[in-house]
Each structure stands twice: as structure tokens, then as C-alpha cells.
Amino acid sequence: MTLARSGPLPDEVPADRNGAFGALAGDDAGRVTPMMEQYLEIKAANPDCLLFYRMGDFYELFFTDAEVASRALGIVLTKRGKHLGRDIPMCGVPVERSDEYLHRLIALGHRVAVCEQLEDPAEAKKRGGKSVVRRDVVRLVTAGTLTEDTLLDARRNNYLLAIARARASSAESGSQFALAFLDISTGEFRVTECDSAALGAEIARLEPGEIIVSDALFGDPELAPYWRSLPAVMPLARDVFDGATAERRLAAYFAVTTTEGFGTFSRLELTAAAACITYVERTQIGRKPPLSPPSREAPGSTLIIDAATRANLELARTLAGERRGSLLSVIDRTVTAAGSRLLAQRLSAPLTDPESIGRRHDAVEALLMDAAARADLRARLAAAPDLARALARLAVGRGGPRDLAAIRDGLTAGADIAARLAGLAQPPAEIMEAASALRDPDPALAAELAAALAEELPAFKRDGGFVRAGYDAALDEARALRDESRRVVAALQARYAETTGVRALKIRHNNVLGYFVEVTAQHGEKLLGPPHNGVFIHRQTLAGQVRFTTTELADLEAKIASAADRALAIELDRFERLTALVTAAGAGIKRAAEALAVLDVTAGVAALAVDHDYVRPEVTQTLELIVEGGRHPVVEQALRGGGPFIANDCDLSPPSNAVCGRIWIVTGPNMAGKSTFLRQNALIAILAQMGSFVPARRARIGIVDRLFSRVGAADDLARGRSTFMVEMVETAAILNQAGPRSLVILDEIGRGTATFDGLSIAWAAIEHLHESNRCRALFATHFHELTALAAKLPRLFNATVRVKEWQGEVVFLHEVVPGAADRSYGIQVAKLAGLPAAVIERAKIVLAEIEAEDRTSPARRLIDDLPLFSAAARAPAAPREDPAHAALLKAIAVLNPDEMSPREALEALYALKLKAAQKDG
Ligand code: ADP
Ligand code: MG
């Protein structure tokens, strides 16, 4: 694309962007022009943003901004005039395509201040030759405050998160945090509190586009490294997080006298919520996104899942960072963007209250039973546009005609759906509530929009033509005039062709000349001479054409322009009035949008359950966890067409006369299906608690309050992401935090170090889980020594994944059965992987030798010496290797008796004796 400008340019901008730049630049003497003064002033007010400075059809960037942006966007960096004796670097992006460039800059972590021209350049000129067009920043574009479809992922929420901290009152109590988060593109606004242990998990759940914190919190020595590890954390001055003014700022935004009507909030929560609001006001500059009043999430109301566990279980994306292959991607059967967002939200924050979960299950069940209603509902939903985002754009003045149409179509679809739902036999509460929210908006609004909007709609309101003919009499009149004049132009062209005898004569239009008469060069002479030169006034000679104007044409042009201007002005006025109607009904539209999303998610889950044979789980307040015939939702779908997925049972419920749940040790060779089995049970618990049905024959889940999942370092090392240290830090977090309601998944912990180290760590970790955490857990391991623990720990249970050996080959049956694996089958697996036969044979010999030596395994002794009720308290000393002993062995190893003389042998013996004496002494 070319960067050349078209259209009339404001006087202050050189017609050619590469030409002289007198208006902005000062001179070598260091004088600063008025325009430069304006630029510097605006830039000084927005030091942490790249400044998009509007000049005609371009946003221009200068100085360092230009250098940064040209590098980030790969656009040409030019020089323009001088400031204080030095060249001014500059680059620019065309306004028409600015979204695309904004998107890239935001994705790279920049913030952009968009500075517009606030008056017509002609106005400025009237004030005198040297006047500068009035400009100001109309919006800050930041990662957490986006509204444009082009800048957002339709299927994900984009949260702005404010974090406020209350310092610990004592050393033990730890800091308390309030989190307020909102999505200005949908209007959701919530607050919650958590302690420092859960802070990371909360942030991982929300995946905010941007986080704001106070300067003090940002600089906190303990947290600073954590902030740096997150994208887009913005420190703000203390006033934004001022608790004293928080409630007042919140109330002012929602135009109420007190926030009490919204619920009861702690002072810390109000502080975080007000910080969000103040930041929205600062970035949107005078525009008010249609936010819902803040609603409070009670702490503990959702399942806490930390970032590592989310990554590990591949909930919203795979370890490679893709949506495809994640749990979300295989369960997402929604047909609308809003439904997709809600599903992602529910998956990221499963509930902990069996009753609320049951309500969701009831709704799914109702739509599962009624296939016809489900199909009809989904077909209608598919036609419903993204109401919430269209509404938000209209409210902040960034809407277009298509957003009005989205409101029209969304409300109409909603009313239709509500009518259909009335036909459901015994609709459950969740569906009844949705239906009532859909009936709520006044049908007159959709009718008004339907009457006003044309069939075909332009992308931008400035293009005009979106108001239906017959809707506004004055508009129809202006349009008739404009179109009539266009017919007159056509007639004029015919007349001129006739009088001049130039058949190819055309009347054309461009933005620089306006209307003009054009003939080929060959006819040009004719019009330049008498008698035609009395009528035709020369404007321009090009290589092949000559262009003229006439008085008549100029008059006509003025008429056309004024009629078109008038028509557009009327349309824009209509647009504003319709937008005002829509925003006035905003609260109801938002509720309808939420209802559509709920129905979409519910019908989608029902469809998933039907297609893949999922069942309704029973969710209880107990500590049970029984899965019969469970499957891994993702592996199962990936296997389609390949072999069947082997369903497996799991039972972590407390054994009879025990209070706490069980720990399963799962052994079996590599590739047997251990990791798959572990994860599928965690995923089933998540699915159950988010309100979905589950891939199993039957499932009974006692509420899980915290979920932990870790994989041994060896798995992670392959991805170059982790080390043994990280594995241990994460394991430490689990052992320190898991409680009796937690579910812990440990996959091959201890693998990232030497065998005996690893075995010891795994051993001690299991004892700790059993004795101190007392949680439900699944522990996969290739250390089969660990299975011996079951003899002493009453809630430990051994399971193994069956394999069959057949003619020296290993066959994976993927079947989990009680018992312990007797061996690893590592060599058989290596053989399957294609290791050379010689290596396999040699490995077998080495293994046989090692196994012979290992008969006196230390595991036997440890079993008889279990620190049963003191595992947490006692820290047994680690066995140390004795260097003197090793040196002695080494000295013996280098002796070669066959080549020694008797005397040498005797001397060597004395030397060894001496060494041994030193060791003991
Ligand atoms: P391990 O952790 O024991 O090394 P994985 O759980 O990684 O084994 O499983 C290895 C592969 O075996 C999986 O990628 C999957 O293709 C297959 N698999 C695992 N469990 C099953 C099952 N229950 N039914 C069918 N195939 C399975
Ligand atoms: Mg594994």
C-alpha cells in the first residue's frame, strides 16, 4: 500500500509527507514553533504512552516514539525538520488502518495515547495564519481497556485487574489482597479478596490483559520479581488506590449516593474497585463504558487452581500455548462468542458449592433430554450477534451502524428464544431466569432499530447510507437533492460532449480537484482554443489527459456537496439518537446478553454430553471421589479413528472408618497410560464442578477446594522450561498448602535427579501427604519401591497399569488395576522406540547384574522403620558419602596384581593399610 495522502490536507501539513516540515519543526536556532509546542505539551502529559498525533489522514509519531514504533511495526523511519538543532525522527500510520498497528503495539506491551484534531483546520486558519489546529488526547489505548473487535479475541474476556493490598497486621497473618476486575468490552465488574498464597492462582484464573497496582505495591521487594514475570503490569500513583476516596469515586461513576446497594464490600475491595473505575475514566477520557455495578465473589466460592496446574492440565491452552488440544477446545460446543467466553470463564473458575453446581447440571439435563428444543435453541443462538461488545462500543462512542444492527438482531433473537423456552416442560431455574432476562428489554427498541437501519450497512457511520429510506423525511429530501444533482452532472457531460464534438469527454471526481471535465491529450488543444476556451477553464495537464472546469460545473458541485453533507449530518444525528436509546436500555441489554451466553453454554454442554456419552456427576459435600469408567476428554477425542480409549475406575474416597481420602500410587512402565489416568480424574473433577457433565459411566465427586498438579522435571526439561529446582519449589508449595479437601496430582515427582535422591524425595513426600496434608492424591511413579509403603500407610492404595509381555515385546493394555508393577519394562519400551539391537542386548545384561545386587534394597528396611506420626516433624539426616572410603576403593581399583612383583605387592599392601588407618583416625 502507498502512504501517499489523498484528499484535501490541512494547511499545516505538507501535501507530501516527505517534503519539508516547516510547521512542526523549529529551526537551528532552537526556536520552537506553536505546533511543536502543542506536541511537546501533549506528549509531556502522556509520558508513558506512545503518542499517535493526528495530522490529516495519518497518525504521526515523533522522536523516541517514532524510533520505538518504526522498529516494532517495521515501518519506515524518516526525518522531519529540526528541534533544538537536531533532526526529528518521525514515522506514521494511516488512520484508516490504525487498528492493525494499534493491535501490534498493544500486543508488544505498549500503551498508545490517541491524539485527535478537535476542529476543522479551516477553523484554526480563521484565528490567524499561525494558529495550530486544536488537538487533544481522546483515549489511551491499553491492553486492559480495549473495545474494538479487531483488537480483541471474540472468545475470550479481556480483564483489567486492580490489586490492592492490606499489609499484614502481624508477622504470621500475611498480607491480604483485594482484586477488582472488569471487562470494559462486556461490562462485567467483580471484586474478591484472597491471601498471598492464593494471589498467583487468582491472577492465573483471570489472565488479565492488564494489571494495575500502586507504586508502593509495584516496588515491593518481595513481589517485584513476580510483577516482572507478568505481562502488562502498570504502577500508578497513590491517589488511584486511595482508600479514603474510594467509595465516593465508585458511587460517582454509577451516579448513586452510596455503594451499599451493590452489596457489602470491605474497604480493601472498595479501594481496588475504585482504582479500576479511575483507570477506566483516565483511559476513556469522558466516555463511560456500560459497566455493571461491582459484584462480590465470596472467597472460597471457586476452586483454586494455580498457574502451574492450569498449564499442566492444559485447561485453556496446551503446554505449547495453543487453544487446539486444550480441554477448552474439546468441550467448546458453543455457537456464539459470548457463550465461548462464558464457557472459558466457568472452566477457569469451577464452583465449590454443590447447590449452585446442581443448578447448572439441572439446566444441562433439561436440554439434554429435549433434543428438538436443544437443536432449535442452538440454531437461533447461532444467529445472535455479540450484544455485550456491540453495546460497549456504542457506549464509548466507537460504535458503528453494524453495532446498532447487532443490538437489533440480538434482542430479536432473544425475544424469539424466550418464547420458545416457554414451551419447555418443567424448565429448571437457570433456564427460567435466562428466559425472563430475555423478555425484559422493551421490544420497541428492536422495532425502532429495525425501522431505522437499511438492509446493507457500511462499516463506519462516516460512510453514511445506513438509515433506511422512508425513516426520516428531511434525510430523504437531502438525498433526493444529492442524487438529482448527480443526474444533472450526467446530463451536463452529455451536453459538453455534444457541443465540443469530443465523444470521449468525461466528468470525473477526485478529492483534490473535486469535479472536473477530462479529455484525452489529443482533444485538449481543441478545448484550449476558441470558442470552447470561453466555457472550459484549464486546471491540469497530465501525460495522457487534460482537465478543465466550468462555472456551471463548479456551481453544481457546491450544490451536490451541500446536499450530501446535509444528508450525512442527518444520518449522524440519527445515529446518535439511536445510540442514546440503546445505551439508555443498556442494563437490560446486558442481562439479555448474559442470558444468551448462559443458554449457549448450557446447550453446548448438553450437545457435548450427547455426542460423547458424558454423564451427570453427583457432586456432594463429602470427601469422596469415585469415577467409574472414566475417560480422558482430550485423549479420547484425539484417539478417534485410532484405537479405543480404555475407560478406568478411580476411587479416592476415605476407606471405611477413615476420615480422610485416599492416595493412589500408580505404577507401570512408560507409555502405559499413567499420566493420562491421573489427569483424567483431575479433569473430571473440574468438569463436574464447573457444571458440565463428565466423560465417565458414573462419577461422584465430593467438592474439591484446591487442585494441584505437578509433573516431574524430566518431562519439563524436554521443553526447556523447567529444572529440578522448579519441580521441588512446586512440590514444596503443595506440601505446604494442600488440605483435606484438596486434590493433588503428582506425576513422576523426583525423576529429575539421581535415582536414590529421587526415590527418597518421593518417599518422604508421600508420607507427608498421607500424614500431614491428608488430602486425596494420585501419585504416578516409576519407583516401584514406593508400592511397599501401602503396607504401613492405611489410606494408601496401589494401582498399576497393565501391560502384557508377548514374545519379548510389551503390549500396553491401558487398564488400571489394583496392585503394583513388578518392573519398569524400560528396555522393552526402548526397543519399541527403535534403539539398536546391540544396545538393547547390552542393557539387558547390565540390568540383570544390577538387579542381582539390589536384592538388599534399602526400601525393605525403611518399611519397618516408618516415622508414622512424625513425618512432618522429623527431618532425618541425609546419608552422606564418605570421601576417605571412596579414596581407599579407588586406590584398590588401580592395582593390577598380575603385573606386580611380590615386593611391589607388599608395598601396596602397606600403603593401603596406612590409608585405612588415616581414615579411621
Ligand atoms: P505414561 O505416563 O504411563 O508414560 P501416558 O499417560 O503418557 O503414559 O500415555 C501414553 C499414551 O498412551 C497416550 O498418549 C495415549 O495415546 C495412550 N493412552 C493412555 N491411556 C490410554 C487409555 N486409557 N486408552 C487408550 N490409550 C491410552
Ligand atoms: Mg507419564
Question: What's the CA gap between 123 and 355, in Å, rounded?
Answer: 65
Indicate whether 796 pLDDT > 60. Answer: yes
C-beta separation of 469 from 561 below 8 A: no
Indicate whether this model's pTM tops 0.85: no
Residue located nearest, by CA, to atom 13 of ligand 1: 673
Spell out a b/e string for 147-185, using b for 16 or more CB atoms within 10 Å of the CB, else e: bebebbeebbbbbbbbbbbbeeeeeeeebbbbbbbbbbb
Does the pLDDT of residue 419 top 90, yes or no?
A: yes
**Mean pLDDT, rounded, for 443-472:** 94
**pLDDT given for residue 651 in this prediction:** 97
pLDDT per residue as tens digits for the range 797-845? 999 998 887 777 778 889 999 988 766 677 777 777 777 787 878 878 8
Cα–Cα distance measured from residue 61 to residue 296, given in angstroms and rounded to the nearest whole number? 42
Q: Residue 129 is which amino acid?
A: G
Report CA 544 to chain centroid distance, whole Å: 55
Strand order in the sheet with 514-520: 506-510, 514-520, 545-549, 537-541
pLDDT at residue 539 greater than cutoff 90: no
pLDDT of residue 16: 44
User: What length does the chain have?
Assistant: 921
The predicted model gives 159-164 an average pLDDT of 97
Closest CA to 781 of 720, 700, 729, 712: 712
Ligand 1 midpoint to CA 815 (Å)? 10
Half-sphere exposure in the Cβ direction for 520 (13 Å, CA): 4
Q: What is the pLDDT of residues 177-222, one digit of tens each?
A: 999 999 999 999 999 999 988 899 999 999 999 999 999 999 999 8
Q: Parallel, antiparallel, or unpaired for β 160-166 and 112-117?
A: unpaired
Q: Which range (220-229, 371-380, 530-539) has the least confidence?
A: 530-539
Q: Is 117 helix (H, G, I), strand (E, B) or coil?
A: strand
Averaged confidence pLDDT in the chain: 87
Ligand nearest the Cα atom of residue 666: 1
Residue to substitute in 631, 671, 745, 828 for testing ligand 1 pocket (most ligand atoms within 8 angstroms of CB): 671
Q: Is the pLDDT of residue 403 over 70?
A: yes
Ligand nearest to the backbone CA of 803 = 1
CA-angle at 635, arms to 375 and 348, nearest 5°: 70
Backbone angles phi, psi at 619, to 5 degrees: -115, 125
- Residues 6+ away with beta carbon under 8 Å from 440: 588, 591, 592
Task: Report d(CA 643, CA 248) in Å as an integer.
Answer: 63
Q: Which residues line ligand 1 (CB under 6 A)?
A: 635, 645-646, 648, 668, 670-676, 814
Average pLDDT on 153-173 reads: 87
Best residue among 312, 313, 318, 635 to mutate for probing ligand 1's pocket (most ligand atoms within 8 Å of CB) is 635
Ligand 2 center from residue 645 Cα (angstroms): 16
Is residue 383 a contact partner of residue 722, using CB atoms and an 8 Å limit? no
pLDDT at 863: 55
Residue with CA closest to ligand 1 atom 16: 635
Cα 757 to ligand 2 centre (Å): 19
Those residues whose C-beta lies under 8 Å from the C-beta of residue 613, and which sit 6 or more positions away, are 695
Residue 864 confidence (pLDDT): 47
Residue type, 102: L
User: pLDDT tens digits for 470-521?
Assistant: 999 999 999 988 888 778 888 888 888 888 888 888 888 887 778 898 888 8
Ligand found nearest the CA of 669: 1
Residue 304 grid cell: 483454586
CA of 663 to the centre of ligand 2 (A): 18
405 touches 455 (CB < 8 A):
no
C-alpha cell at 214: 500502586
Rg (CA), the chain: 37
**Which of 203, 393, 364 shows the shortest CA–CA distance to 288?**
393
Average pLDDT in the 430-437 region? 96
Determine the distance separating the centroid of ligand 1 and the alpha carbon of 812, expressed in angstroms.
9
> If you search the block for the grid coordinates 484438596, which residue do you land on?
742
Cα(633) to centroid(ligand 2), Å: 17
Residue nearest to atom 19 of ligand 1 (CA): 673
Give the residue among 833, 834, 819, 811 at the shortest CA–CA distance from 673: 811
Confidence grade of residue 171 (pLDDT, cut at 50, 70, 90): low
Ligand 1 mean position, distance from CA 669 (Å): 11
What average pLDDT does this structure show over 656-671?
91
The arithmetic mean of pLDDT across residues 236-255, rounded, is 94
| C-alpha 723 to ligand 1 mean position (Å) | 24
The ligand placed nearest to the CA atom of residue 718 is 2
Ligand 1 nearest atom to the CA of residue 674, by list position: 3
Specify the DSSP element, H or E, that contains 686. helix 674-690
